[in-house]
């Protein structure tokens, strides 16, 4: 009953269009397909598989992530709306169980007739999408062997890299990474690649990850330092780069930060929109996540839906730095936080204006 009350609160306070809910009895998993907005076109967003603390947490995550996709697509200039799907599993599934779940989930996506398109997200891979594609055409990012564009992670990382350079240029007067310290929080498919790119560019890298083994392995390879997860927030650095789950920046955590810039790949880094104001009050430059982490859609959606070639994708990734620079200036001109300036840019696109 308590859970039901939570469901009512989450959906009742959401401004999105619809949520498709399925309970997948064979795997005891909940499927939530959250369509936030189709104002600019069919909703699109990745599918996340995760073990949540409660089913309501999963629904909350899906609805919030879907809203993030709406503004991401708008700022990217794509004719797609925002959506996201969450597979709330009792444990990360493998083998036949996983295939069974993805097959049934694909049928749920197919039943929406193209109002929702999906791709990879946390704990899902091009192989899962290949399987889905047997039952449902609405997928971006199948494996290259199956005719898709493949893994988006390296492209998301490259976009974030360009965005970090633009952020450093604005905050410290130079985009150069030599001698700068970047703390990468979470070294999964995007964070690990980002750490490599930053190390190659001469930055000093600090790594933190819930898996001590994964952190140690990458740190050894890159000559980076390792920071314990509990120390991630207060570790002094130039750039704090959240690259794991969202919601790490809040009224409680922002006072503890000791960095000049927050710029990472995670979706929904802020617990609430007001946290962008808190960062700006502390003199920390925040690179809005949905602007910075659009590299994955530039790659998968750009190539598969818009017919882009690799050179066009590269230009779009570099353009992330330019879009951020515009947002930073707008924030200064209008005396609003960078988060609000990015939101305003997204809203103007959603309302069909240009600015």
Quick one: 125 or 250, whose CB is closer to ligand PHE?
A: 125
**Is 8 within 8 Å of 21 (Cβ atoms)?**
no
For the window 53-92, what string marks contact with ligand PHE as x by the rule CB under 6 A?
A: -------------------x--------------------
For ligand PHE, how many residues bind (rule: CB under 6 A)? 16
Applying CB under 6 A, among 16, 42, 46, 288 the residue interacting with ligand PHE is: 46
84 is catalytic: yes
User: Residue with structure tokens 């300036």?
Assistant: 341
- 25 C-beta neighbours (distance < 10 Å), count: 8
User: Residue with structure tokens 């898709």?
Assistant: 148
Q: Shortest Cβ distance from residue 101 to ligand PHE (Å)?
A: 18
**Residue, CB closest to ligand PHE:** 119
Q: Shortest Cβ distance from residue 203 to ligand PHE (Å)?
A: 24
Rounded Cα distance, 196 and 160, in Å: 12
Q: Does 128 bind ligand PHE (CB under 6 A)?
A: no
From 36, 84, 165, 204, the catalytic residue: 84
Rounded Cα distance, 17 and 45, in Å: 14
Rounded Cα distance, 218 and 196, in Å: 9
Helices and strands counted in the chain (H then E): 12, 11
Rounded Cα distance, 17 and 83, in Å: 10
End-to-end, the C-alpha distance of the chain in Å comes to 46
Applying CB under 6 A, among 119, 163, 191, 302 the residue interacting with ligand PHE is: 119
Q: Does 199 bind ligand PHE (CB under 6 A)?
A: no
Q: Shortest Cβ distance from residue 166 to ligand PHE (Å)?
A: 19
Q: Does 120 bind ligand PHE (CB under 6 A)?
A: yes
Q: Does 284 bind ligand PHE (CB under 6 A)?
A: no
Quick one: 126 or 339, whose CB is closer to ligand PHE?
A: 126
Applying CB under 6 A, among 141, 150, 154, 247 the residue interacting with ligand PHE is: 141
- Among residues 61, 35, 67, which one has the least CA distance to residue 48? 61
Instruction: Provide the Cα torsion 142, 147, 153, 158; round to 10°.
Output: -150
Q: Does 152 bind ligand PHE (CB under 6 A)?
A: yes
Please give the distance of CA 217 from its chain centroid, rounded to a whole number: 24
**Is 258 within 8 Å of 202 (Cβ atoms)?**
no
Q: Does 247 bind ligand PHE (CB under 6 A)?
A: no
Site for ligand PHE in 295-334 (CB under 6 A): 296-297, 300-301
Q: Does 140 bind ligand PHE (CB under 6 A)?
A: yes
Enclosing H/E stretch for 114: none
Q: Shortest Cβ distance from residue 132 to ligand PHE (Å)?
A: 12
Rounded Cα distance, 27 and 30, in Å: 9
Q: Mark residue 277 as left, alpha or beta (left: phi above 0; alpha: psi -120 to 50; beta: remaining).
A: alpha
Q: Shortest Cβ distance from residue 339 to ligand PHE (Å)?
A: 17
Quick one: 71 or 199, whose CB is closer to ligand PHE?
A: 71
Sites of contact with ligand PHE (CB under 6 A): 44-46, 72, 119-121, 140-141, 152, 267, 293, 296-297, 300-301
User: Which are the catalytic amino acids?
Assistant: 84
């Amino acid at each position: 009953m308590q859970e039901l009350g939570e469901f009512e609160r989450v959906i009742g306070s959401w401004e999105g269009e619809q949520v498709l809910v399925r309970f997948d009895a064979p795997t005891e998993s909940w499927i939530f397909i959250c369509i936030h907005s189709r104002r600019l076109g069919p909703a699109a967003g990745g599918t996340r598989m995760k073990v949540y603390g409660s089913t309501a947490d999963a629904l909350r995550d899906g609805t919030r992530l879907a809203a993030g996709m709406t503004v991401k697509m708008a700022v990217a200039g794509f004719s797609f709306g925002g959506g996201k799907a969450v597979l709330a599993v009792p444990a990360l599934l493998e083998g036949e169980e996983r295939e069974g779940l993805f097959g049934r989930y694909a049928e749920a996506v197919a039943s929406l007739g193209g109002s929702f398109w999906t791709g990879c997200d946390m704990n899902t891979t091009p192989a899962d999408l290949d399987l889905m594609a047997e039952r449902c055409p609405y997928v971006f990012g199948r494996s290259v062997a199956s005719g898709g564009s493949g893994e988006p992670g390296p492209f998301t990382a490259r976009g974030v890299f360009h965005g970090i350079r633009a952020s450093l240029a604005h905050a410290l007067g130079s985009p150069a990474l030599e001698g700068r310290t970047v703390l990468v929080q979470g070294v999964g498919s995007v964070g690990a690649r980002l750490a490599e790119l930053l190390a190659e560019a001469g930055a000093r890298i600090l790594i933190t990850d819930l898996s001590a083994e994964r952190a140690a392995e990458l740190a050894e390879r890159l000559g980076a330092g390792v920071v314990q997860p509990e120390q991630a927030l207060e570790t002094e650095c130039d750039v704090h780069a959240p690259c794991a789950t969202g919601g790490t920046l809040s009224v409680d955590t922002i006072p503890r930060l000791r960095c000049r810039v927050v710029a990472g790949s995670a979706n929904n880094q802020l617990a609430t929109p007001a946290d962008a104001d808190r960062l700006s009050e502390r003199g920390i430059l925040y690179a809005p996540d949905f602007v910075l982490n659009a590299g994955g859609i530039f790659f998968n959606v750009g190539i598969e839906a818009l017919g882009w070639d690799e050179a066009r994708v590269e230009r779009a990734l570099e353009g992330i730095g330019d879009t951020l620079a515009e947002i930073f200036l707008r924030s200064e001109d209008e005396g609003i936080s960078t988060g609000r300036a990015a939101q305003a840019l997204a809203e103007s696109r959603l309302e069909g204006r240009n600015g």
